[in-house]
Amino acid sequence: MDKILARVDDLARELREIEEALGQPGAAGRPDFPDLSRRYARLREIVAKGEELRRILAEIAEEEDLLDEEEDEDLRDALKEELERDRAQAERLGQELLRMFLPENLDDRKNAILEIRAGAGGEESALFAADLFRMYSRYAERRGFQVRVMDSHPTPLGGFKQIVFAVEGSGAYGRLRYESGVHRVQRVPETEASGRIHTSTATVAVLPEAEEVEVDIDPADLKIDTFRASGPGGQHMQKNETAVRITHIPTGIVVSCQDERSQHRNREQALRVLRAKLRDLEEQERAAELREARRRQIGSGDRSEKIRTYNFPQARVTDHRIGLTVHQLAAVLDGDLDLLIEPLLAEEAARALAVDHPRPRS
């Protein structure tokens, strides 16, 4: 905690300098005025939270002294309960500050586009893909985000070979960006009569939605095909060709959308996915220049990397990147993803800033 508070003190000094600069005559006419204003607002929030942490730590020290002196058992028990609550509060504030120390990534504010694909395991992997889609949908609901399905390929048993959807809301990508990778499930499949535990996988890709101004697409580079949308097993086939498939000729990227009722809307949704994929491709090409920064991040960001295991017999979820196991599988699958996301974000901040902090309890 000492390192965290020292960092807060450094930022408090920067805050005073910015406050002085913004108080100068004509400050509103400075070219960097908007950036300074945003930085000022962010630093005020950090310093306020740092002062709250400092106050809690002072109370903890006082409670520890009282506990050493107190002889009455009832009072000691009450002090111990209060001390435990304050220590938990201090740890929570410390983790929040670690995340706030990170440089602001503008992508974190954007909508997220997720693509879930069934992997190894046949129909069971498709059912697991559906479970993951439900998990992210419930998480989005908890956070006040909206989910919009853009393309889906359901299976007769209720799974998905592939599903592409947008999670819309400020900060969606920032919350979900560490979900990219291979998700593994260990359970007895519904399709398994002998009761043996199987291991299946599904891959998740998470991209920030790109604005039109960020990605310039030449219409001449697009091959657009239309076809009839259909449900699982060819059910619910539409008579009109409302589904759209777009091929970006220079890169070979192919996207499709068939979940909207009109061809125009499907084309719009497909272009949203294409822009996100083209922007992601550009980012990957620049990754060599950012290799050192990548080494400080959690995991490689490679979609072939196994990031998490969902073990049904033991009701546990393990995130392999930070060695965290929680025995709350049902809660996680019901959308309580912050059990995993919060420690991931705190770990990223700690690594980036080389700050030691307590490991999350399993």
Check if the beta carbon of residue 244 is closer than 8 Å to that of residue 263: yes
Domain ranges of the chain: 2-101, 108-212+301-353, 219-286
CA torsion 147-152-154-160 (nearest 10°) is -70
Convert the pLDDT of each residue in 270-322 to its tens digit: 998 999 999 888 877 765 554 444 444 555 555 567 999 999 999 999 999 99
Please tell me whether residue 285 adopts helix, strand or coil conformation. Answer: helix
d(Cα 310, Cα 147) in Å, to the nearest integer? 23
Residue type, 170: S
The CATH code of domain 108-212+301-353 reads 3.30.70.1660
Q: What pLDDT score does 356 carry?
A: 45
Q: Which portions of the chain are predicted below pLDDT 50? A: 232-237, 290-296, 355-362
Q: What pLDDT score does 238 carry?
A: 52
Helix (H) or strand (E) segment spanning residue 149: strand 146-154
Check if the beta carbon of residue 253 is closer than 8 Å to that of residue 217: no
Strands 253-257, 243-248: pairing is: antiparallel
Q: What pLDDT score does 299 carry?
A: 57
Check if the beta carbon of residue 324 is closer than 8 Å to that of residue 307: no
219-286 to CATH, choices 3.40.50.720, 3.30.160.20, 3.30.300.130, 3.40.50.300: 3.30.160.20
Convert the pLDDT of each residue in 65-90 to its tens digit: 998 888 888 889 999 999 999 999 99
Q: What pLDDT score does 72 carry?
A: 87
Q: What pLDDT score does 191 carry?
A: 67
For tokens 């196991």, the residue is 325
d(Cα 167, Cα 204) in Å, to the nearest integer? 14
Radius of gyration of the chain (CA): 25
Residue 24: partners with Cβ closer than 8 Å, 6 or more residues away: none
Which among 174, 95, 108, 100 has a CA at the least distance from the CA of 346?
95
Q: At 228, list the tokens.
A: 């009839």
